Amino acid sequence: MNAGLKVFAPASVANVACGFDVLGFALDKPGDEIIVRFSDQHQGLRITEITGAKGKLPFEVEKNTAGYSAQRLLEHLGEEKRGIDMEIHKKMPFGSGLGSSAASAVAGVMAINELLKRPLEKRALLHFAVLGEQLADGAYHADNVAPSLIGGMVLIRNNAELDVHRLPVPKGLYATVIYPHVKILTRDARAALSDQVSLKKCIEQNGNLAGLVVGLYNSDLDLISRSLNDVIIEPQRAQLIPHFYDVKEAALNAGALGCSISGAGPSIFALSANSLIAENVGVAMERIMTNAKINNELFISPINQEGAIKC
Amino acid sequence: MNAGLKVFAPASVANVACGFDVLGFALDKPGDEIIVRFSDQHQGLRITEITGAKGKLPFEVEKNTAGYSAQRLLEHLGEEKRGIDMEIHKKMPFGSGLGSSAASAVAGVMAINELLKRPLEKRALLHFAVLGEQLADGAYHADNVAPSLIGGMVLIRNNAELDVHRLPVPKGLYATVIYPHVKILTRDARAALSDQVSLKKCIEQNGNLAGLVVGLYNSDLDLISRSLNDVIIEPQRAQLIPHFYDVKEAALNAGALGCSISGAGPSIFALSANSLIAENVGVAMERIMTNAKINNELFISPINQEGAIKC
C-alpha cells in the first residue's frame, strides 16, 4: 500500500458575532486529516479507516460527510469509477460549534482534487463541500465550509449563490476559542431562535456587520471591537451555554476586541489584537469554565490564511 | 450690508437599497444655500430671508431646521449673543426623499462655523446638524446629514453614537435620481413599515449590505450590483410611489447597477458605472413617469466627494 496523499482542513468559527449565516473565519488548528490513495482492488470510492470519531461516523460513502462531498465531486469529474481508498482522521471535536462537519466535507473534496492533480480550482470545490455540509446539517450553508476551504475571514453574501468574498484581516489578529464539554443539540440551538426580528435590531445588526467589514478593510481595531456585537442571535442562544456571559466578560476584561458564540455553540470565540492578549484571554476564559467544573479545551490561533492544504 | 458668507450643502440619498438607516451618499446637486453675516443691529441669530420655500419655512430660529442647528452650535461655542443674520435659499424640493431638511441643517452649522473662522472641524459639526434634522424629522438620524456634511458614500454604523465612516467609491460611479411630483407623508412612509422582519430577510439584507461595502472597497461593480437589493423596506414602501417597479425595471434595463427608493421616497435613485449610462438611465426613468403624466425632476450627478462647502 502506498503512503497516500494527505490533506488537512481546518476548524472554523461561523457567525463571528454580527455576521449570522454570512461570516466565518478559519483557525490554524484543530482540523481534520484525510488520506486518499488509488486502489486497483475495487471500483469507486471506499472509506477504509476512520479514527478519532469514537465509532460515530459511518463508513458508507453516501452517509459520510467527507465521502458524500468527495463522491459528488468524483461524479462531476466523471471519475466515479476510479478505485480510491479514503482514510478519515477526525482531529477535532464533533458538535462543538467549530465546523467539524465542514472540515470533513472540505477535506474530502480537497483530497480528491489533489489526488486527481487539481482538475478544479480551489474555489470551484466549494459547491461540492457545501453539499457534504448539507448532508450533515440539512442546510446549504457555506459559513464554515468557505473559510475552511479558502482560509481567512470570509463573507458569504448569499449562501444559495455561493457569493463568497475573502476579507482582509489586520496584521496580528488572533482568535481564542474555548470549547466547553457540554452538549447542545442542533435542534435546540435552532429552536432557540425566533424566526422574527425587530426592525430596530435588524438595523443595528446591519450597522455592526458593515462596521466590522469597514474595520477589517481599514485595520481599525476600535471599530472592529465596537462592531463585534450580536444583538440578535447571541441573546437567544446564550442560555444554552453555561456561564457564557461570565466567559464573555472575562474575555473582554482580559482585553479581547470582542467575544461571542462560535457557530451554534457551545464553543465561545474571542478576537484579540495580538497573540499575547489572545493568550491572556484564553487564561481568563478557561478559569471561568474550570472553576465551574466544566471540562473544556482551549484553542489559540491566528486567522488561518491558507484554508485546506495538502500536507 | 456686506456680501456675507455663502455655503452650499448638497442633497443626499439615504438607505441606498440595502442600507436602511445606516447608509447614504451625497449628490453634487441640488442642494441648499445659506448666507450669513455679522450684524451689529441686534444680538443673537436672526433669519432675515427665506427663498424657494413657498412660505412653508418658519423664520423663527427655534422652529427652523437651519436656524435650530445653527443656534445649538452657537450655544456650544458660547457665541449665542453674536449678532448674526441668516438667509436661507432652498434650492431643492421638500418632501422629496432627497434629504432637504438635512441639507438645511448642514448648511446652517456649516455657515456658522465658517463665519466664526472654523472653531470646529467639519466632523464635529455632525451632532449639531443632526439636532436640526431631529427637529424636522423627529429622529436623531445621520443617514442624510452625514453625507451632506462630509460628502461621499457614508456608513453610519450607529446613529446614536454617530459612528460614521466614509466608504471608497469606484471611479466613475454616477447617480441618477428622479423626483416624481407626488406627495408621500412621512407618517404614511413610516406606517408602511412593519416593526418586525423575518430572520431570513434580515440575514439576506445583512449579506447584501456587507457585500455592497466589499464591492465599494474592491471596486467590484458586479458585486455592487448584486448587493444593491433591498428585501425589507422597498417591498413595503414601493406601493406609495406610482410606477415604482416600472421605473426600476426601466433603469435596470438601461444598464443601472441598481435602483431603489431614495430615503422615504418618492424619489427613486439608480447607480451606474459611468455618466453615460446614468444619462441613459435618466431618459428611461423619465419616460415612464412622463408617459404616466406624472411631473418629475431628474438629477444626474457623480457621488459628491466634498459635502458641504463654502462657495
- pLDDT, tens digit, 9 for 90 and up, residues B155-203: 999 999 999 999 999 999 999 999 999 998 777 888 889 999 999 999 9
- Which residues in chain A (150-169) have CB-CB distances under 8 A to chain B? 155-158, 161, 163, 165, 167
How many CB atoms lie under 10 A from the CB of residue B60? 10
**Using one digit for the tens of pLDDT, what is the confidence trace for A230-262?**
999 999 999 999 999 999 999 999 999 999 999
* Contact call for B157 and A214, based on CB within 8 A: yes
Instruction: Single out the residue of B4, B107, B16 nearest to residue B64, CA to CA.
Output: B107
Lowest mean pLDDT among A134-138, B17-21, B82-86: A134-138
- At position A225, the amino acid (one-letter code) is S
Element (H, E) at A213: helix A199-218
Using a CB-CB cut-off of 8 Å, the residues of chain B touching A218 are: 165
Q: Do B20 and A206 touch (CB under 8 A)?
A: yes
Ordered domains of chain A (ranges, CATH): 5-167 (3.30.230.10), 174-302 (3.30.70.890)
- Does B223 sit within 8 Å of A165, measured CB to CB? yes
State the pTM of this model.
Answer: 0.96
Q: Give the mean model confidence (pLDDT) for residues B271-299.
A: 98
Contacts of B163 in chain A (CB under 8 A): 207, 211, 223, 226
The CA distance from B32 to the nearest CA of chain A, in Å, is: 29
What is the distance of C-alpha B279 from the center of its chain? 21
Instruction: Quote the pLDDT of residue A1.
Output: 62
Contacts of A68 (CB under 8 A, 6+ apart): A61, A62, A105, A108, A131, A132, A135
Q: Which residue of chain A comes nearest to B23, CA vs CA?
A: A207
The pLDDT, as a whole number, for residue B1 is 62
pLDDT of res. B189: 82
Q: Are A246 and A280 in contact (CB under 8 A)?
A: no
Q: Is the pLDDT of residue B2 over 90?
A: no
- pLDDT, position B163: 98
Q: Is the pLDDT at A271 greater than 70, yes or no?
A: yes
Chain B residue whose CA is closest to A18: B206
**Confidence class of residue B112 from pLDDT cuts 50, 70 and 90?**
very high
- A109-120 pLDDT, tens digit per residue, is 999 999 999 999
Burial classification of residue B81, based on how many CB atoms lie within 10 Å of its CB (0-12 exposed, 13-18 middle, 19 or more buried): exposed
* Reported ipTM: 0.95
pLDDT at site A189:
81
Taking CA atoms, what residue in B is nearest to A227? Answer: B157
- The pLDDT assigned to A31 comes to 97
Say if CB B36 and CB B2 are below 8 A apart: no
